[in-house]
Amino acid sequence: KMIHENPEWEFAGIFADEGISGTSVLHREHFLEMIEKCKAGEIDLIITKQVSRFARNVLDSLNYIYMLRRLDPPVGVYFEAEKLNTLDKSSDMIITVLSLVAQSESEQKSNSLKWSFKRRRAQGLGVYPNWALLGYKGRAWEIDEDEADVVRTIYSLYLEGYSSPQIADFLTKSGIPTVKGLSSWSSGSVLGILRNEKYCGDALCQKTVTIDF
């Protein structure tokens, strides 16, 4: 709205990384694309809703703000909610404090989730999606006997010496749908079941972790 109401401004695009945390710019593809356009002189002003939407990591936030300011011509970031423009150096202290607050909020949320997951594991409760597991009903750990027969067939064929491509071909020709309802099985889908420890009654949590907060 701000851009369209100002005849001297030209819209340069929307750069949104939906579903990506702002705690690191590493995987923010569109954010990095926007920065490159700034370096190329295609953008001279960035408008974002608030400081926390620009970055939730204080170092990233300040590093990019100062880097954009040093470009020729300098590029400013305007935060709508706070009505702050990074080209105004008097706003540096406020932006720093707000960036610290945004980072602190992310850290608190992260720690709360970690504590919740740890507590659920200690109580023997699941902290992983099981609705995408063939052989179980919905989110409950209740066996679906029809699908369970398919899982048993996969393991039986494997023990008989069938390869994953051969098992996939057998399931496809037998008209057995995948867990997603697809009519065609892939070798990867079969391997995913054979290698999933949950079918042996175990659950290995935190196979991958994000080194951040």
80 and 116 share a domain? yes
Summarize the confidence of residues 181-198 as an average pLDDT. 91
Percent of the chain, pLDDT > 90? 41
- Does 190 score more than 90 pLDDT? yes
Summarize the confidence of residues 107-118 as an average pLDDT. 79
Q: Is residue 14 helix, strand or coil?
A: coil
**120 and 127 in contact (C-beta within 8 Å)?**
yes
Residue 92: partners with Cβ closer than 8 Å, 6 or more residues away: 86
Of 84, 5, 9, nearest in space to 44 by CA: 9
The model's pLDDT over 63-74, given as tens digits with 9 standing for 90+, comes to 999 999 999 999
**What's the chain's average pLDDT?**
84
Domains of the chain: total: 2
Range of the domain at 92: 1-123
Lowest mean pLDDT segment, chosen from 17-21, 46-50, 197-201: 17-21
Q: For residue 93, what pLDDT band results from cuts at 50, 70 and 90?
A: very high
Q: Which residues pair with 136 in a beta bridge?
A: 143
148 and 182 share a domain? yes
179 and 203 share a domain? yes
Q: pTM of the entire structure?
A: 0.53
**69 and 63 in contact (C-beta within 8 Å)?**
no
Rounded CA-CA distance 41/51 in Å is: 23
Any long-range contacts for 115-119 (C-beta under 8 Å, 24+ apart)? 117/205
Last residue of a domain, one of 103, 123, 143: 123
Rounded CA-CA distance 9/47 in Å is: 12
133 and 119 share a domain? no
Rounded CA-CA distance 40/34 in Å is: 10
138 and 113 share a domain? no
- Does 21 score more than 60 pLDDT? no
188 and 208 share a domain? yes
Summarize the confidence of residues 29-50 as an average pLDDT. 92
28-39 CB burial, b ≥16 within 10 A, e <16: beebeebbebbe
- Does 20 score more than 70 pLDDT? no
Q: When comparing pLDDT for 196 and 2, which is higher?
A: 196
- Does 35 score more than 60 pLDDT? yes
